Structure 1
Amino acid sequence: MSGSVEVRQFLLRYEGADGGVPSQRGGHADAPRVSDDQVRRARMAVAAGATDAEDCAQLLDMLGLIPDEDGQNPAQR
């Protein structure tokens, strides 16, 4: 994203019912897990919006979409 206006527009599109920013998922055992397909689609979306390879790698890392030493994506824990 190239500016604060775009960020605000993104947040407005994904507001919760209470008008705020969506809350972070809890670490509850009954919480739905992120599927492998969701991770693949998220990686593709990040790659499509990245400005270059370094930007893409940094965004994927920040979002937990790069496998750790154990081969598991942090987003799927």
Structure 2
Amino acid sequence: MKILYFAWVRQRIGLAEEEVSPPAEVRDVAGLVAWLATRGPGHATAFADPRQVRAAVNQDFAPPDAPVAPGDEVAFFPPVTGG
């Protein structure tokens, strides 16, 4: 699974992207966020409040209950505001 990080999420994690192999019990975006938060202090900081992070799975906006699978591309970024 390819994970992409943008804006302050990237800054906190210290990576723009990474390849990961989450355990089988990770089946949705929320589970992926919870698992990623355990990967180190930068990840824990970035995902400390999952409500502050948005996701896209295979370039489509995805809610926390959206399924994820091996081979997917998942991007994480802060909420976008207009103005």
TM-score w.r.t. length of structure 1: 0.28
Q: Which has the larger strand fraction?
A: 2
Which structure has more RCO (C-alpha within 8 Å, separation ≥ 6)?
2
